[in-house]
């Protein structure tokens, strides 16, 4: 799987809303933030649309805007302004052949998980599980989040993933494993089963994060993956941020304790406290990239990127 070309200095960033909308005020702040970072900006026309009370337009409309950013030769990178809901509704209308022929940096997380899975699978293109403009950048794009972001999208050589200072990676199950990185938001990974963008875990490193789910629902999503045979196919698992995933009846039985039970009988390396997801700071992960996880050194190592030129 290949990386898109790096984001050039003064390049053009396309802002998209594949899921939920943002306000006009936040739209202007998003534009200003990207310009302040030194880039030109193009915006999809649906950023502040409101369809159904939670979507930035219906499925075909959002896909049309999304496709156009990859088709536009002036656009060097495509950044999501936020996640939210409704992303699955637009997926059937996304032109993956167009994206494959026009590979670009693509960044987002949460409800954007389905797009990561599909683009990795059908476009042979690395994407980035990283900060979104409205959700993360306009209010507090701190130094650690920014450093991780630009290291991932502009990497020239192999590198070791770094957690925020003072937040060490922890080990749930020992071992070493190598493979392509896949995954994202747990609810969306579970929802992908049986669809054309279904999670493919075979011989891969699986990353999982979640937000705002009670432990019983988190367990339901995770056991869906296990019962579907997905977790047994992984070479290793990385557990990210589980923000506001509470257990009001028994707080000590938290997300990690729950995963200890979920992963019983699966003899693969597992590391947790990978600080990527809905928390802060938010570290960037290149989805589809080749990586090696080593519980002895508590490291996640990404191989040297191979860049992808446009398909003629």
38 φ, ψ to 5°? 100, 20
Out of 49, 209, 219, 275, pick the active-site residue. Answer: 209
* Active-site residue, 209 included: yes
> Residue 16: left if φ>0, alpha if ψ -120 to 50, beta else—which one?
beta
Contact of 139 with 30, CB cutoff 8 Å? no
- Name the helix (H) or strand (E) containing 75: none
Got the DSSP string for 174-240?
--EEEEEEEEEEHHHHHHTTTSTT----TT-EEEEEEES--HHHHHHHHHHHHHTTHHHH-SEEEEE
CA distance 29 to 35: 10
CA distance 288 to 253: 32
Contact of 292 with 187, CB cutoff 8 Å? no
Out of 110, 135, 190, 276, pick the active-site residue. Answer: 110
Out of 20, 65, 213, 278, pick the active-site residue. Answer: 278
Our measurement of the distance from residue 274's CA atom to the centroid of its chain's CA atoms, rounded to an integer in Å, reads 13
Evaluate the CA torsion angle 64, 68, 71, 75 in order and state its sign. Answer: negative
Longest CA span, the chain: 58
* Active-site residue, 19 included: no
Q: How far is CA 28 from CA 25, 181, 248, 291, in A?
A: 5, 34, 39, 37
- Start-to-end CA span in the chain (Å): 18
* Active-site residue, 278 included: yes
Contact of 136 with 145, CB cutoff 8 Å? yes
Got the DSSP string for 247-295?
-SS-TTS-HHHHHHHHTTT--S-EEE----SSSSS---EEET-EEEEET
Active site members: 110, 209, 278
């Amino acid at each position: 799987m290949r990386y898109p070309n790096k984001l050039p200095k003064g390049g053009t960033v396309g802002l998209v809303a594949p899921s939920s909308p943002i306000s006009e005020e936040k739209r202007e702040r998003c534009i200003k933030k990207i310009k302040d970072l030194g880039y030109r900006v193009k915006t999809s026309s649906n950023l502040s649309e409101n369809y159904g009370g939670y979507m930035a337009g219906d499925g075909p409309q959002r896909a049309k805007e999304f496709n156009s950013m990859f088709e536009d030769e002036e656009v060097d990178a495509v950044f999501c302004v936020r996640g939210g809901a409704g992303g699955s509704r637009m997926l059937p209308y996304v032109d993956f052949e167009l994206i494959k022929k026009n590979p670009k940096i693509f960044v987002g997380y949460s409800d954007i998980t389905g797009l990561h899975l599909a683009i990795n699978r059908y476009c042979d293109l690395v994407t980035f599980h990283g900060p979104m403009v409205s959700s993360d950048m306009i209010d507090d794009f701190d130094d650690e989040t920014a450093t991780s972001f630009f290291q991932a999208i502009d990497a020239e050589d192999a590198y070791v993933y770094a957690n925020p200072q003072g937040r060490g990676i922890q080990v749930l199950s020992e071992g070493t494993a190598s493979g392509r990185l896949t995954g994202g938001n747990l609810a969306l990974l579970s929802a992908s089963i049986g669809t054309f963008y279904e999670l493919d875990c075979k011989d891969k490193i699986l990353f999982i994060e979640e937000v705002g789910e009670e432990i019983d629902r988190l367990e339901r999503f995770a056991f869906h993956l296990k019962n579907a045979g997905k977790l047994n196919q992984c070479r290793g698992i990385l557990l990210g941020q589980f923000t506001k995933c509470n257990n009001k009846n028994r707080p000590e039985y938290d997300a990690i304790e729950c995963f200890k039970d979920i992963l019983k009988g699966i003899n693969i390396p597992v590391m947790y406290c990978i600080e990527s997801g809905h928390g802060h700071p938010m570290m960037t992960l290149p989805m589809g990239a080749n990586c090696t996880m080593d519980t002895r050194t508590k490291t996640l190592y990404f191989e040297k990127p191979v860049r992808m030129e446009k398909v003629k």
